[in-house]
């Protein structure tokens, strides 16, 4: 399917690896110019840029800690100057620190919320004016289904993700008259480069029994839906929480 993203500029946060990397590659394959955001994974981010450019796409890497408002604004200003604007914002960056709630610390709470919730707020606030000025654009927030169903050892992560879902619906109402859609994609367990391999090996069979489709997700299970939601074909979809989770949670 030709999603007609040629001429569009997409900022993908946390795009150096895993889900963010696959999203960046999928959008580039549809013709979008990609701003690859990273915080500390410079080598991996540059590898994504090199791959896109080698495939006749256009991409540049931009360092920013999304938990820092000033860092985000500087990044967005740089992207607009270098690439001519922003049409698509994919808020993928996040931080998960699995731990029993009563064993977690205020410092860990703050960092997870700074990245997982305030990171999305910062990016939406910095990019939003550019989308509204264009009278159109896409914001796609990537989060986890723990926001809706709860998960042991992810209390603070789930709390920040719940805030993202509320923000998604509220901004969809605010930005809709300007032709800007705002949606969220919530996923189940995804096996990534930073997954606990030992824990997965020990528990895989038990975990996979919880999924009607019988397997844990992969980063490239998410990217095709993001590409569709970024396109004009999704122009009448906004304020929605779309689950990609192998059937793990079936909530309305």
pLDDT tens for each residue of 152-186 = 888 999 999 999 999 999 999 999 999 999 999 99
Mean pLDDT of the chain: 91
Q: What is the pLDDT of residue 70?
A: 98
Q: What is the pLDDT of residue 171?
A: 98
110: which residues sit within 8 A by CB, 6+ positions away? Answer: none
Q: What is the pLDDT of residue 18?
A: 93
Reference 87, options 21, 133, 131; nearest CA is 131
**Cα–Cα distance measured from residue 226 to residue 209, given in angstroms and rounded to the nearest whole number:** 27
Does domain 9-241 correspond to CATH entry 3.40.50.720? yes
pLDDT tens for each residue of 24-50 = 999 999 999 999 999 999 999 999 999
Q: What pTM, to 2 d.p., does this model score? A: 0.93
Q: Where are the domains of the chain?
A: 9-241
pLDDT tens for each residue of 207-252 = 677 777 778 778 899 999 999 999 999 999 999 999 888 767 665 5
Say whether 92 sits in a helix, a strand or coil.
Answer: coil
């Amino acid at each position: 399917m030709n999603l007609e993203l040629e001429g569009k500029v997409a900022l993908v946060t946390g795009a150096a690896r895993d889900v963010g990397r696959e999203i960046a590659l999928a959008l580039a394959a549809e013709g979008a110019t990609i701003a690859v955001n990273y915080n500390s994974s410079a080598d991996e981010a540059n590898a994504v840029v090199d791959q896109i450019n080698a495939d006749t796409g256009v991409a540049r890497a931009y360092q920013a800690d999304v938990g820092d408002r000033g860092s985000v604004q500087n990044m967005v200003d740089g992207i607009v100057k270098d690439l001519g604007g922003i049409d698509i914002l994919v808020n993928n960056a996040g931080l998960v620190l699995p731990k029993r709630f009563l064993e977690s610390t205020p410092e860990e709470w703050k960092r997870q919320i700074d990245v997982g919730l305030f990171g999305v707020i910062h990016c939406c606030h910095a990019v939003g004016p550019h989308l509204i000025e264009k009278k159109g654009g896409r914001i796609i927030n990537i989060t986890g289904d723990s926001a809706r169903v709860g998960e042991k050892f992810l209390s603070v992560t789930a709390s920040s993700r719940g805030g993202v879902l509320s923000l998604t619906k509220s901004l969809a109402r605010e930005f809709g008259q300007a032709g800007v859609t705002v949606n969220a994609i919530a996923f189940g367990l995804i096996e990534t480069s930073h997954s606990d391999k030992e824990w997965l090996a020990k528990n895989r069979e038990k975990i996979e029994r919880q999924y009607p489709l019988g397997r844990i997700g992969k980063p490239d299970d998410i990217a095709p839906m993001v590409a569709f939601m970024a396109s004009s074909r999704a122009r009448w979809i906004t304020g929605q929480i779309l689950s990609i989770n192998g059937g793990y949670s079936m909530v309305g």
